[in-house]
Structure 1
């Protein structure tokens, strides 16, 4: 049952006379505490926070003086007490609340400074189960929520970056904090506890392998505010979740202007794709435009791989994203900067390569320290009107699949290598997806079409355009292989690939007309391999 409001108006200004400080992250704590005391504020604190303040020679009362009860159970119980929560939740313009506070000797608290146990960091560190559980904060979120609820009289600070703003607001208002300011702090506080609890519930879901929990919570921390989203009329911000996965969210930007919404989306697509290629086996480069690859290749060196990838569709590569699976060296950098590029992302970059890229001041260079594991579990989330679609990450890798030759002719060794390569790329092309490949490089890509036949034809047309640009007499699809992200429902898609010059096909299989497609392949001497795994990507 909802609790009725007494409709007591909140005061605009609340003088800050007493503050409770209990923080895990002690960044800026001592300076902030000293400034509060200089402004005439009495400090109350707990445990390590109280010790840090006292060691700096700043007067501070221990919270046990308020509660009349010592911290117990290794600090698990210290602030969960009526003397604390009554001081936070009391409505000071309500006579009944005032009488209750007076009767029980509860002194009001005007400012609460709390940041929570570092659950997210401990979880990311790979700590054991018991250590992670011990870093689930209880008293902290309780104080944060109590203070935020009673923002009519209490200011709640959960982020050290807000310390300066609090002091400025107090100075501008003779030691008081305005209602609008308190409201904004409360909004941030509730968002913080929501994200904190989302991390905890997500960890339990992952640890206990609960496929579809009854409630899903997601949280993230604002990393940057963007000028706009996909289009100039859309607002956008980038939030990071703390997932321990190398990529655009965890990368260090060594140079270049701020990443845009589209940059981040495309760079993530590029790096996830190039992560499919083990650097111990081969150098690989992916060039992405509008979240689709316009060229992917393996090579003896990153320079070689880049040139092969660029040759697939040099027109679309203009203004694209380049992802590499190894250290960006000077030779590769020299080639990449010859074409206008928005972002380069790689595990590392040599000093010589950094100097080359630095000549293009707007070109963003990101280093991640590693590659994403294509086999790792995880989630993808897509918003729809009124809901969220949540699914496991597509972590199927072609090297792990049981490939089945279904035609009379089996692919040769070189064809099989190209088939694996093409299917690896097709996993990261928007459906319907068709990828032609030759010598472990894409030579034609068709993406995002309503008809698989159209994807085949577009990919072939792209290959023809690239051949003409390079001065080749025939498109590179002649003698290539082709990958399809899903089965061919009819033989017409296969026949379009045959017409383009493909000699071998890799596809999931599973159509009611598989026999017709196989028969068409046999009729044209095409080798075909079934993977049994589909890679739809919408």
Structure 2
């Protein structure tokens, strides 16, 4: 094998025909013989190019609705033969197999068909067989053969041909082969994941696939390299959002923006405007309001200090009034389903502020998986889409919550789901007023949340803590009464928690003695 290899014969068979004609013309201009199949061959001929059908090469017509057309030794022998191996060359001569130096294939649109929610029969017909087989054959023999699976690489290929007088370099072929194997792996991942969803139980084998969306400047810290990959999901969020202005998102921006948008998506816009402010993946303020501007102000007043340099997510269209309020402090990212032209103009002067729109909210109850890497493997689980309605609650104290308290309890419960454990959330009048996150002790989280509520009351010049009369959510049960009593000391009036502790009776008795109303959910929301 030598570094430079010529391209004399190319097989083009693509589902996505973007750029196909220009590629075909450029190759033909260099004297490359074009082989093709089906719709690709028709498109090339319609453009005036001379194309040879693969069926002429194999001696067999396409059959079984196109399921069988390239699965033949005349194709795979032409791809797999080692050009510097005398035995391989002799076999090619004996069986009249011509070398194929370039394969351009993009696969049946399985992922796009899945997004449309197609029926099983259509899904199965969109599982490509011949395409992955050719891709893998060509990629294996990248010492001699070029394989292109992405439209983005057409120009890269042509540039290498131009620079090397109709030849390609080994470095390019090697890179194209790696991309090709990653593509077939991701494709098979999509198929196997779909099939796993049709079955009961946990699959013995599981894979993860993705496409590079962005090479990041660094990861969580400057000494860590990082990249952002998308999985092809149509779920509204940071991966599918349109960025209107500002610098590229960083690793931490992406992580925090995802956390913010997933949280605000818990609050359906039909029930009124809602805003979530996130710092380091934890909410520092979440609120509903009669207007979006009011919701933002209430969320901001939960923790004005932490909101500086934070991420703001909104559940409805960003308007000029809200945008103007947001510009009063430094904000990293704002994400919303849509934005008015007036709001865009308001942000234009803030060159570093990233503005994203998603086209809709994420469905918080959708079935999805989360993945976390551990040393030597991955943890995979269903996304926490647990939902509690008022009818699911069990009142365990002598005092039952009022309708107003019940609304705040359910609000606090939704927020607690998105706070790192141990999580304690104080809510009053549809707004968080204190958040304690990520502590090793639930008592410490309760203390921190109460301290923040008092600190903000002092900053706002109020006579008593914001926690006075608040509802309190705990993401998991109180193992002892101390955390609950801390909330009572801060002025809380009612509590929502999963229950299930060996000391539930002790905690309930403490709530009764403190005059608190308390409800159990029977569901916990650990978030590590």
Q: Same fold (TM over 0.5)?
A: yes
1:473 corresponds to = 463
1:462 corresponds to = 452
Shift of 1:408: 0.7
Q: Distance in 2 between matches of 1:161 and 1:491?
A: 61
1:72 corresponds to = 63
1:267 corresponds to = 257
Q: CA RMSD in A?
A: 1.0
- Do the aligned residues in 2 keep the contact of 1:288 with 1:295 (CA within 8 Å)? yes
Q: Please, which moves more after superposition, 435-444 or 468-477?
A: 468-477
Superposition map of 1:346-357 within 5 A = 346-357=336-347
Superposition map of 1:132-281 within 5 A = 132-206=123-197, 208-281=198-271
1:309-356 superposed Cα distances (whole Å, 9 cap, x missing partner)? 000000000010111111111111111111111111111111111111
Q: Does 1:530 align with 2:528?
A: no
Q: Distance in 1 between matches of 2:164 and 2:502?
A: 75
2:46 to 55, 58, 62: 55
1:47-81 superposed Cα distances (whole Å, 9 cap, x missing partner)? 11111111111111111111011111111111000
Q: Name the SS for the 2:511 alignment partner.
A: helix
Structure 1: 4+ residue segments shifted above 6 A: none
Shift of 1:211: 3.8
- Do the aligned residues in 2 keep the contact of 1:18 with 1:43 (CA within 8 Å)? yes
Shift of 1:245: 1.2
Q: Distance in 2 between matches of 1:276 and 1:178?
A: 52
1:359 corresponds to = 349
Q: Distance in 2 between matches of 1:348 and 1:174?
A: 50
1:422-469 superposed Cα distances (whole Å, 9 cap, x missing partner)? 111000000000001111110000000000000000111111111111
- Do the aligned residues in 2 keep the contact of 1:401 with 1:531 (CA within 8 Å)? no
In structure 2, do the counterparts of structure 1 residues 401 and 172 end up closer, same or farther at CA, with 3 Å as the change threshold?
A: farther
Q: Name the SS for the 1:188 alignment partner.
A: helix
1:388 corresponds to = 378
Q: Distance in 2 between matches of 1:99 and 1:210?
A: 51
Shift of 1:382: 0.4
Q: Distance in 2 between matches of 1:165 and 1:275?
A: 41
Q: Name the SS for the 2:380 alignment partner.
A: strand
Shift of 1:359: 2.0
- Do the aligned residues in 2 keep the contact of 1:463 with 1:475 (CA within 8 Å)? yes
Shift of 1:261: 0.8
Q: Name the SS for the 1:280 alignment partner.
A: helix
- Do the aligned residues in 1 keep the contact of 2:293 with 2:325 (CA within 8 Å)? yes
1:2-51 superposed Cα distances (whole Å, 9 cap, x missing partner)? xxxxxxxx321111111111111111111111111111211111111111
**TM-score, normalised to structure 2's length?**
0.99
Shift of 1:176: 0.9
**TM-score, normalised to structure 1's length?**
0.97
Unaligned ranges ≥5, structure 2: none
Unaligned ranges ≥5, structure 1: 1-9
Q: Please, which moves more after superposition, 431-440 or 462-471?
A: 462-471
Q: Distance in 2 between matches of 1:317 and 1:108?
A: 63
Q: Does 1:331 align with 2:321?
A: yes
1:188-207 superposed Cα distances (whole Å, 9 cap, x missing partner)? 1000000000011111112x
Q: Distance in 2 between matches of 1:255 and 1:179?
A: 39
Q: Name the SS for the 1:398 alignment partner.
A: coil
2:277 corresponds to = 287
Superposition map of 1:385-424 within 5 A = 385-399=375-389, 402-424=392-414
1:152-181 superposed Cα distances (whole Å, 9 cap, x missing partner)? 110111111111111111121121111121
Q: Distance in 1 between matches of 2:388 and 2:288?
A: 16
Q: Distance in 2 between matches of 1:162 and 1:375?
A: 38
